Structure 1
Amino acid sequence: MVSLAELKRYSAENSVDVATLERDYTIGWLLKGIFVEEQLAKVLVFKGGTALRKAYFKDFRFSQDIDFTLLRSIDASTLEGGISSVCATAYRDSGVEFSLISFAQTRSEMGEEAYEGKVSFVGPRKQRGNPARIKIDLTSYEKVVLLPASLPLIHPYSDNCEVNLLVYRLEEIVAEKLRTILQRAHPRDLYDVWTVLKFYRNKLNDDKLVEVFFQKCEHKGVRLKRWVEFLQSQRIMGLSKHFESSLRRQLGEIPDFEDLRRDLREILDEIFISL
């Protein structure tokens, strides 16, 4: 386990609080534990905003939780046992005290099962009285369109935490977030899509992104008329009130909401030019 002094140095250099860095650090060890656990590594695909930071872009925003899509059905007891084993392995290898404190099935429809685990950890800050928690979401109701990638874990800390992650392709992460924005918009999803499209669009295949997006919309019965209309909708405009506060702990510098919305409108109009 790295020292608290290392996290404090990183905190000073990046204007991010130490608690956020500790969580980022421990998420890395938890991910390693998951992808060296044979039963889980075969059925879980890493996705979402945390995947953008831990598999694609080392300077991406910090995250709170980790999300996976299940490639096939697996019973709850096997998943729970696997995560318990992950906690023991990660504790042994890192010195971070991981413990699975709850595991529950949150959705039971056949073929659309979902589960939630909560893992507590005691890391470099030694916060034992009320230990922090990482939520693990595991869902089987998403359609995985593209063959997942195998990418090395990004772990910008001094200890040896190395593993390959099975992770959504970049186009699939962005497409799923765009579809999610149409269903229930959250500030972090808007920010993630904006960041990838504005600063890393050269890493994307636009045609592939559009194809995956429409497949994911069809899978969920979601329809889109035009992005320009949606980005002017009351639902999106309402996010401006708590956009900054919801991202404050995850970012050193938060973009202006109106600038972000304008950029998204222009870029999405280019990509979805036929709409």
Structure 2
Amino acid sequence: MLERRQLQELTRISGFNLYQTEKDYLQHVFLLFLSTESEKELVFKGGTALQKVYGLNRFSLDLDFTSTNGDDEEIMKRIAEDMEDFGYNTKVSRTEKFKDISETFVLKVQGPLFDGTDRSITTLRVEVSLRRDLILKPDAKEIVPIYPDVRPYLLLVMRLDEILAEKMRAILYRGRPSDLYDLWFLLKKNVKMDVNLVNAKLRYYKMTFNREELKTKVLEMEKRWMAELKPITSFTPPFEKVLNELKP
């Protein structure tokens, strides 16, 4: 268990503020126990996977997974018990299921900054996709946290080219600046876009990749770019810079 003083010292390494650092720490504790409770049932993906595994400098609120065939609710209960044993009072406070598309688990954790008040309880949101649309064999990745009481752990992580395809789908379907930022990060890492992979991801929504539609969605983000990204990134590039670097 960490104390408030230790968390404050670790903010200099994490690049996050104190409360973001607490959530980042508790996300790592959650993932550590996931690695022991789930073998192949949940595949880590999304912006938080990019941040935890590949060094994305964007704070991500939710933990995103694709479910393969496991009993996800039972896994969440076991992880909550493990976090209790680790020293942090943890409850699975809510479970939401949206048809056969997704499942959301909300964990309430009394972390290092808990002072006895409800507002100091940390919320961990776990988003699980039930689409069963994992296409590529995931990679097994070792994650080495900066936190001294969280040992390295191994997780199944979605391949970068498949994460890119899902980010492209997210931009076309919902259009959030954070998804564009993540896409820019992936392209800077020389991850190539596979149009067939993108179309496979879009098929669920009866959509196909369209470059002009993508351009329209991207331009719509300009007004929200700084406002949405500045609180969650250590450095927010100008929208024009990202736009120019995304052009073929």
Same-fold status (TM-score > 0.5): yes
Offset of 1:127 from its aligned partner? 4.1
1:55 to 53, 57, 68: 53
* Pairs within 5 Å for 1:116-265: 116-129=104-117, 130=119, 131-198=121-188, 200-201=189-190, 204=191, 206=192, 209-226=194-211, 229-233=212-216, 235-264=217-246
Question: Does the C-alpha gap of structure 1 residues 54 and 154 become closer, same or farther in structure 2, counting only changes over 3 Å?
Answer: farther
Does residue 103 (structure 1) correspond to residue 95 (structure 2)? The answer is yes
Contact 1:15-1:252 at 8 Å conserved across structures: yes
Question: Does the C-alpha gap of structure 1 residues 191 and 127 become closer, same or farther in structure 2, counting only changes over 3 Å?
Answer: farther
Q: Tell me, in whole angstroms, the C-alpha distance in 2 between the residues paired with 1:154 and 1:49.
A: 17
Offset of 1:162 from its aligned partner? 2.4
- 1:51-106 per-residue CA deviation (whole Å, 9 max, x = no partner) reads 1112222x53221011111113x5xxx4323211101112313x233221111222
Contact 1:231-1:261 at 8 Å conserved across structures: no
Gaps of 5+ in 1: 270-275
Question: Does the C-alpha gap of structure 1 residues 230 and 142 become closer, same or farther in structure 2, counting only changes over 3 Å?
Answer: farther
Contact 1:55-1:165 at 8 Å conserved across structures: no
Q: Let me know the Cα RMSD of the aligned residues.
A: 2.1
Sequence identity percentage:
27
Q: Tell me, in whole angstroms, the C-alpha distance in 2 between the residues paired with 1:135 and 1:263.
A: 32
Gaps of 5+ in 2: none
SS of the residue aligned with 2:96? Answer: strand
Offset of 1:184 from its aligned partner? 1.2
Contact 1:44-1:68 at 8 Å conserved across structures: yes
TM-score, length of structure 2 as denominator length: 0.90
Q: Which amino acid aligns with 2:111?
A: G
Runs of 4+, deviation exceeding 3 Å: 12-15
Higher mean C-alpha deviation, range 213-222 or range 254-263: 213-222
Higher mean C-alpha deviation, range 123-132 or range 187-196: 123-132
Q: Which amino acid aligns with 1:230?
A: E
SS of the residue aligned with 2:137? Answer: coil
Q: Tell me, in whole angstroms, the C-alpha distance in 1 between the residues paired with 2:116 and 2:220.
A: 38
Offset of 1:14 from its aligned partner? 5.6
Q: Tell me, in whole angstroms, the C-alpha distance in 2 between the residues paired with 1:187 and 1:219.
A: 22
